Amino acid sequence: MSHFWIPCFVSVALAQASPAPNEPATHGYLGVVVPRHSADLAPSAPATVRDVRVRVGDAVVPGQLLAVLESPELDQEIARARAELWASRADSTRAAAELAQASAIFERREKASDVFTKEEMEDFATRKASAAAGLESAQARIAERTATLKVLQERRRSLTVRAPFAGQVTACLGSQGEFLAAGRPVVRIATTGDLWVRFAVPAAERDGLEVGRRIAVTLDGAAALLDGAIQHISPEVDAATGMIFTEASLVADGRLTFAAGTTVRVTLQPR
């Protein structure tokens, strides 16, 4: 997990005294169970939803087709870009032929330079240089239009929405016939069975945090349900709340099912 999530629950302070330095908190901290990975899958171009192939709760595998969108405007842009690329390639072929002709003429004149004036030889050299510049310009246009076409094709591929990893559909955010702006998610998926907990610790209790320290996760009023270990600790105190945001992985227990979004209490285990 590459960033720290700022939970909305941090304003709910637990009204108990802080433990002594380096001692585990006995009252625990409020936390939220989250999936290890989640993704909002969205088109990178404005498009209309043609079909959604999954429903909330469906299990998915990597590469599975989830939704199909369409954009006639994008298809027209791609067709125009292809035509411009073909035209550029034709220009390049023509420029290469002109350069070959100019080079051949210059070489022949150069071998008989004694019958041509200095100005005439300079003119032949200029024609050759101009033809070379024309070819270079044509090749640059090919590179530019190839890059443009590649970007458009990538956008087109984003209209075929596939699962990037194995998981479960947690939300279908677009419906058939609906127009979606670029970047607006159509499906959300998350991993299952690889859960983490995110929680916040008061700055005064920072000494009790260390990567690898064991934790116990419970529901209020219940016995310990899952064990885990701290994996990430924010290096700074959040100015708005005075809290340090922390993430821990949970040890799977086949007898238990934990839904992402469950509010839990996190207790640091003795060292």
User: If you write DSSP's letter for every residue of 88-125 in order, what string do you get?
Assistant: HHHHHHHHHHHHHHHHHHHHHHHHTGGGS-HHHHHHHH
**For the chain, which residues make up each domain, given as ranges?**
1-37+191-271, 43-69+159-188, 72-157
In the prediction, which pLDDT does 221 show? 62
Within this chain, domains 1-37+191-271 and 43-69+159-188 share the same CATH topology: no
Q: Residue range 105-119: average pLDDT?
A: 79
The CATH superfamily of 1-37+191-271 is Efflux pump adaptor protein, beta barrel domain (2.40.30.170)
Q: Is the dihedral of CA 217, 219, 220, 223 positive or negative?
A: negative
Q: Where does the pLDDT of residue 4 fall: very low under 50, low under 70, confident under 90, or very high at 90 and above?
A: very low
Is-contact 158 44, C-beta < 8 A?
A: yes
- Please tell me the distance from the alpha carbon of residue 223 to that of residue 264, in angstroms, as a whole number: 12
Q: Where does the pLDDT of residue 13 fall: very low under 50, low under 70, confident under 90, or very high at 90 and above?
A: very low
Judged against a pLDDT cut of 70, whether residue 250 lies above it is answered with: yes
In the prediction, which pLDDT does 222 show? 64
129 strand-pairing partners: none
In the prediction, which pLDDT does 258 show? 66
Is-contact 40 29, C-beta < 8 A?
A: no
Q: Residue range 237-258: average pLDDT?
A: 83
Q: Are strands 65-70 and 59-60 parallel, antiparallel or unpaired?
A: unpaired
- Take residue 181 and report the two structure tokens written for it: 């702006």
Helix or strand run (H / E) with residue 246: strand 243-250
Q: Where does the pLDDT of residue 25 fall: very low under 50, low under 70, confident under 90, or very high at 90 and above?
A: very low
Owner of token pair 């979606």: 180
Rounded to the nearest integer, the mean pLDDT of the chain is 85
CB atoms under 10 Å from CB of 156, counted, come to 20
In the prediction, which pLDDT does 3 show? 40
Task: Assign domain 43-69+159-188 to its CATH architecture.
Answer: Beta Barrel (2.40)
Judged against a pLDDT cut of 50, whether residue 19 lies above it is answered with: no
| Residue 198 CB-half CA count within 13 A | 18
pTM value?
0.67
Q: Cβ contacts of residue 136 below 8 Å, gap of 6+?
A: none
Q: What is the pLDDT of residues 50-84, one digit of tens each?
A: 999 999 999 999 999 999 999 999 999 999 999 99
In the prediction, which pLDDT does 176 show? 93
Q: What is the pLDDT of residues 36-46, one digit of tens each?
A: 889 999 999 99
| Residue 32 CB-half CA count within 13 A | 14
197 strand-pairing partners: 33, 248
Q: Where does the pLDDT of residue 5 fall: very low under 50, low under 70, confident under 90, or very high at 90 and above?
A: very low
Q: Cβ contacts of residue 9 below 8 Å, gap of 6+?
A: 30, 31, 32, 200, 263
